[in-house]
Amino acid sequence: MRKSFITFIALIIVASVATSCRGRLEIRRSGNEQPSVVQNNTNKDNTRKKVSNTRRSDRFDLPSPMLNRAEQILERKAYTVSYNAEMRIPNWVAWELTGDHTYGKAKRPNRAFHEDYDVKAPRATYGDYRDGGWSKGHMCPAGDNKWDPDAMYETFLLTNICPQDYTLNSGYWNGIEMKCRQWAERYGSIYIVCGPILEGDHHETIGSNHIVVPEAFFKVVVCLEGEPKGIGFICPNTDENLNNEKCVKSISEVESITGIKFFPHLDSKTAEKVKNKADWNAWRR
C-alpha cells in the first residue's frame, strides 16, 4: 500500500514537471514566430537582438528602396538606417523628431562609439577612426535622443556614423541639427532624412576596414503641421565656411543629386508644396 502511494505521488510530480517544460517550450516556440526587430540596448556581452531587414510600410519618413546600392534596413528605437555593407556607412538615416524628444536627462554613454554587431564583418570599428583625420559624424544626432537612454546609446552605433570633417561636424552640420530641434519644438513634429553623398567611383577610405569617406552630406526636412513645408541641405565634407546661401536646396534638388526618392508616400499636392521650393524664411516664422 505504501509503495503504491509513493508511486502515485511520483507520477504526479513527473506529470507536473513535464507540463511545466512543455509550457516553457511552447512559450519559446511562440516567441520565435514573432518578427525579429531591434529592441532596446545591447546586453553585457555586447550581443544585440537580431535586426529586421524588412522595411516597415507604415513609416512615412522612409525613402524608396535603393535600386543600385547595397541596402540593409536596420530598425532602431528612434531611427531607421539603410546600411551599405560595401561602403561600411549608411545610405541614409530617417526619423521623426517630436517636440517631446528635444530634451531629457539621458547622457552620452561611456565609451560611446561602438561596433554594430547587427551587420556582417567587415564593418566599421572604433579603430578605423583612430588617427584617420576625420571625426565620427552622427547622422541621427545624440542631441535628438536625450529623451531615452537606449535611443541615446543607439545613436553611437557606427552604422549611424560617417567620416566627417571636424569643422563641418562642429559647425554648420551641428547648426542644422540645432535648428531641427527648434523646429520640432515650434511645430510639434518634423520628419528628417540625412546621409552621405558619394561622387564618382573612387573614394578616400579610412582604417583597416576601408570605411568610405563621403564627398558631401545631405539632409531633408518636412513639416506637415499647419501649412506643409520642406527644406533641404547639401554640405560639402570640407572645412570651408558654409552658409545657408550655399547649402540650402529644395528637396527635389537633393533628390536629383543623391538619386534617392524622399517621402514617397506624400500625396501629389503636398509633395508639390514641400519638395519644389526651399523658403528659409518660411521656417523662421
Angle between helical axes of 268-275 and 251-258 (0-180°, round to 10): 90
138 labelled catalytic: yes
In this structure, what are the phi and psi dihedrals at residue 260, rounded to the nearest 5 degrees? Answer: -105, 135
Catalytic residue among 138, 202, 210, 265: 138
3-state secondary structure the chain: CHHHHHHHHHHHHHHHHHHHHHHHHHHHHHHHCCCCCCCCCCCCCCCCCCCCCCCCCCCCCCCCCCCCCCCEEEECCCCEEEEECCCCEEEEEEEEEEHHHHCCCCCCCCCCCECCCCCCCCCCCHHHHCCCCCEEEECCCHHHCCCCHHHHHHCCEHHHEEEECHHHHHCHHHHHHHHHHHHHHHHCEEEEEEEEECCCCCCCEECCCCEECCCEEEEEEEECCCCCEEEEEEEECCCCCCCHHHHEECHHHHHHHHCCCCCCCCCHHHHHHHHCCCCHHHHCC
End-to-end CA distance of the chain: 91
Residue 196: CB atoms within 10 Å: 26
State the Cα–Cα distance between residues 221 and 147, nearest whole angstrom: 21
Enumerate the active-site residues: 138
